[in-house]
Amino acid sequence: MTATIMSREEYLRQDLDARLPNYEKDGRLYDIMVSQQFSRGFLETLFDIADRINAISHQPGGDDFLASLLRHKRAMLYFTQPSTRTFLSFLSACQIVGMRTGEVRDPSLSSEVKGESQEDALRTFSSYFDLIIMRDAKPGFCEYMAYLQQFASRNVPIFNGGSGKDQHPTQALLDVYTMHRSFQDRGGISGKTYGFVGDLLRGRAVRSVAYLLTRYSGIKMIFAAPVEFQISPELESYLVEKGIAVQKTDSLEEALPQVDSLYMTRVQDEYDVSGESSRVDYTRYHLTCENIRRMKSDAIILHPLPRRFEIDPAIDSDPRAMYWRQLRNGMYIRAALILYVFGMEDRLAEFGGM
């Protein structure tokens, strides 16, 4: 009997808990779609894998060993929404573990110009490649493609590299991995105060990392934003339900002395409908060499990048600035995720140069 396939609208109307099992295979994560997939135990496992990849890569012969692990696999980077950092981070991660790559970054140069649907394009990619990493402006599209893969003759894992305004799960992984490494000698991620600043309503990175931080205990989150771009009621309710202490404010100055981690964001004006971003004064949400003095001496400053004017470049040399380190951490955590999905993480123990 032919299976009934739901439309994207029907599929996404289901509760997330009903969709999550679709992204697992043989009891392991297979498709990487949303931050809610990641348990605390999974995070600890993944951070350990990333640490080992990092360490091996700095040993003689380490790069060649890592590049041998998935030399037999190929990855397609299908990025129909503009990206520099996420694209290059995934490309570098694939290269670290030896995967050959293909890419489509401009649909005008693909068969979509001839009328091919994106659904058919993904089916084509799954015939040639073993992993699809995709970024698309349509909310929920990556999830729906992962669902459709169940009905394909060749089901390959799909990674969400950013999906509309909804989520960016691997960005959250590298953010929390950076927090993990920064706070290793200070009791870890639990029990700390995390500040988020800027366009918090439309920032998918903020939403994803906030979901992920609920896996830890004793967390307080401070959201400093213009009233027009404060976090959604849905996200606030979710956090409170998970036991997170939530403080909302329109004052960056109020948040600065309290936070152990400050997550700065840019204005997400690509989602403007009628120029609403231009009607908001963001100058009060700039981090400067002067107001940074109000922060704790051992706090960290994060940013998913790109930045515009929200962080003074002079702050880059401050030891609390971790946003450039975030980039490098992203390469290792994504390489770790690829090894995990292909069940190759145990092969790291074979390296004899440690």
Cα separation, 200 vs 266, whole angstroms: 9
User: Among 58, 114, 283, 293, which one carries the catalytic annotation?
Assistant: 114
Q: Same domain, yes or no, for 149 and 220?
A: no
Q: Which CATH number characterizes residue 216's domain? A: 3.40.50.1370
Reduced 3-state DSSP string for 122-181: HHHHHHHCCEEEEEECCCCHHHHHHHHHCCCCCCCCEEEEEECCCECHHHHHHHHHHHHH
Q: Same domain, yes or no, for 44 and 14?
A: yes
Show the domain range for 251. Answer: 169-326
* pLDDT score of 146 more than 60: yes
Decide if 349 is inside a domain: no
User: Among 86, 178, 193, 214, which one carries the catalytic annotation?
Assistant: 86
Q: Same domain, yes or no, for 268 and 177?
A: yes
Cα separation, 194 vs 253, whole angstroms: 14
Query: What pLDDT is stored for residue 283 in this prediction?
Result: 86
Q: Is 242 a catalytic residue?
A: no
Q: Same domain, yes or no, for 147 and 179?
A: no
Decide if 353 is inside a domain: no
Cα separation, 305 vs 162, whole angstroms: 13
Cα separation, 289 vs 133, whole angstroms: 38
Q: Same domain, yes or no, for 258 and 184?
A: yes
Decide if 79 is inside a domain: yes
Sign of CA dihedral 73, 78, 82, 86: negative
Q: Is 85 a catalytic residue?
A: yes
| Tens of pLDDT, residues 229-255 | 899 999 999 999 999 999 999 999 999
Does residue 222 sit in helix, strand or coil? strand
User: Among 19, 52, 123, 135, which one carries the catalytic annotation?
Assistant: 135
Query: Residues 23-33: what's their mean pLDDT?
Result: 94
Q: Same domain, yes or no, for 162 and 15?
A: yes
- Write down how long the chain is: 354
14: confidence class by pLDDT, cuts 50, 70, 90: very high
Decide if 195 is inside a domain: yes
Query: Residues 283-295: what's their mean pLDDT?
Result: 94
Q: Same domain, yes or no, for 129 and 260?
A: no
* pLDDT score of 197 more than 50: yes
Based on the structure, what is the number of domains in the chain? 2
Tokens encoding 113: 């110009």
| pLDDT > 70: percent of the chain | 93
Q: Same domain, yes or no, for 310 and 335?
A: no
58: confidence class by pLDDT, cuts 50, 70, 90: very high
Query: What pLDDT is stored for residue 149 in this prediction?
Result: 86
Q: Same domain, yes or no, for 117 and 184?
A: no
Decide if 140 is inside a domain: yes
Q: Same domain, yes or no, for 67 and 194?
A: no
Query: What pLDDT is stored for residue 88 in this prediction?
Result: 95
61: confidence class by pLDDT, cuts 50, 70, 90: very high
Bridge partners, residue 74, by sequence: 100
Q: Same domain, yes or no, for 119 and 154?
A: yes
Query: What pLDDT is stored for residue 353 in this prediction?
Result: 59
Q: What is the DSSP string of 325-352?
A: HHHHHHHHHHHHHHHHHTT-GGGGGG--
Q: Same domain, yes or no, for 120 and 174?
A: no
Q: Is 202 a catalytic residue?
A: no
Query: What pLDDT is stored for residue 125 in this prediction?
Result: 86
Query: Residues 311-328: what's their mean pLDDT?
Result: 95
Query: What pLDDT is stored for residue 1 in this prediction?
Result: 47
Q: Which residues contact 68 (CB under 8 A, 6 or more apart)?
A: 98
Query: What pLDDT is stored for residue 354 in this prediction?
Result: 56
User: Among 25, 40, 74, 85, which one carries the catalytic annotation?
Assistant: 85
